Amino acid sequence: MSEFILHHYPPSPVSEKIRTGFGLKALSWWSVEQNRLPDRPELFAMTGGYRRIPVLQIGADIYCDTQCIFREIEARSPDPSFFPNRSAGLPFAFSRWTDGELFDAAFRVAFAPVAENLPAAFVADRARLYIGPNADLGKEFADLPHTLAQLRPQLGWLEERLQIGHPYLLGDTPGMPDLSAWFIIWFVNERYAQADEFFLEFPMLNAWAERMAAIGHGTSMPMTPVEALDTARAANPATIEHHDPLDPQGLKPGMNATVTPTTDSGEIAVAGKIRATSRDTIALTIENPVCGQVAVHFPRVGYRVSVIE
Ligand SMILES: N[C@@H](CCC(=O)N[C@@H](CS)C(=O)NCC(=O)O)C(=O)O
Asked if 185 and 212 touch (Cβ cutoff 8 Å), the reply is: yes
Q: Evaluate whether residue 85 is within a structural domain.
A: no
Cβ neighbours of residue 164 closer than 8 Å, sequence gap 6 or more: none
Percent of the chain with pLDDT over 70: 100
User: Each residue of 112-159: pLDDT tens digit?
Assistant: 999 999 999 999 999 999 999 999 999 999 999 999 999 999 999 999
Q: Which numbered atom of ligand 1 lies nearest the CA of 53? A: 12
Question: Going by CA atoms, what residue is nearest to atom 7 of ligand 1?
Answer: 53
Residues 198 and 232 grouped into a single domain: no
CATH value at residue 279 = 3.40.30.110
Residues 97 and 208 grouped into a single domain: yes
256-261 and 28-33 strand pairing: unpaired
Ligand 1 geometric centre to CA of 163 (Å) = 31
Residues 122 and 204 grouped into a single domain: yes
- Between CA 4 and CA 56 the distance in angstroms is 7
Residues 189 and 230 grouped into a single domain: no
Ligand 1 geometric centre to CA of 8 (Å) = 9
Residues 201 and 224 grouped into a single domain: no
Spell 230-261 as b/e; 16+ CB within 10 A means b: ebbbebebebeeeebeebeeebebebebbbbb
pTM (two decimals)? 0.98
Domain boundary among 170, 199, 215: 215
Q: Evaluate whether residue 226 is within a structural domain.
A: yes
Residues 241 and 263 grouped into a single domain: yes
Question: Going by CA atoms, what residue is nearest to atom 20 of ligand 1?
Answer: 65
Q: Which numbered atom of ligand 1 lies nearest the CA of 37? A: 17
Domain boundary among 184, 199, 215: 215
- Between CA 239 and CA 218 the distance in angstroms is 26
Indicate whether 285 pLDDT > 90. Answer: yes
Q: Which numbered atom of ligand 1 lies nearest the CA of 36? A: 16
What is the extent of the structural domain holding 9?
5-80+220-307
Indicate whether 212 pLDDT > 90. Answer: yes
Indicate whether 309 pLDDT > 90. Answer: no
Asked if 224 and 32 touch (Cβ cutoff 8 Å), the reply is: yes
Q: Evaluate whether residue 113 is within a structural domain.
A: yes
Residues 181 and 242 grouped into a single domain: no
Ligand 1 cavity residues, CB under 6 Å: 12-15, 38, 51-53, 65-66, 99, 129
Residues 95 and 176 grouped into a single domain: yes
What average pLDDT does this structure show over 235-253? Answer: 98
Measuring CA to CA, which residue among 301, 267, 305 is closest to residue 284? 305
Q: Total domain count for the chain? A: 2
Ligand 1 geometric centre to CA of 185 (Å) = 16
Q: Evaluate whether residue 302 is within a structural domain.
A: yes
Indicate whether 275 pLDDT > 90. Answer: yes
Ligand 1 geometric centre to CA of 28 (Å) = 22
Q: Evaluate whether residue 240 is within a structural domain.
A: yes
Q: Which numbered atom of ligand 1 lies nearest the CA of 34? A: 16
Domain boundary among 215, 241, 258: 215
Residues 134 and 205 grouped into a single domain: yes
CATH value at residue 131 = 1.20.1050.10
Count the alpha carbons within 13 Å of 182 in the hemisphere toward its beta carbon: 28
Asked if 182 and 17 touch (Cβ cutoff 8 Å), the reply is: yes
Average pLDDT over the chain, rounded to whole?
97
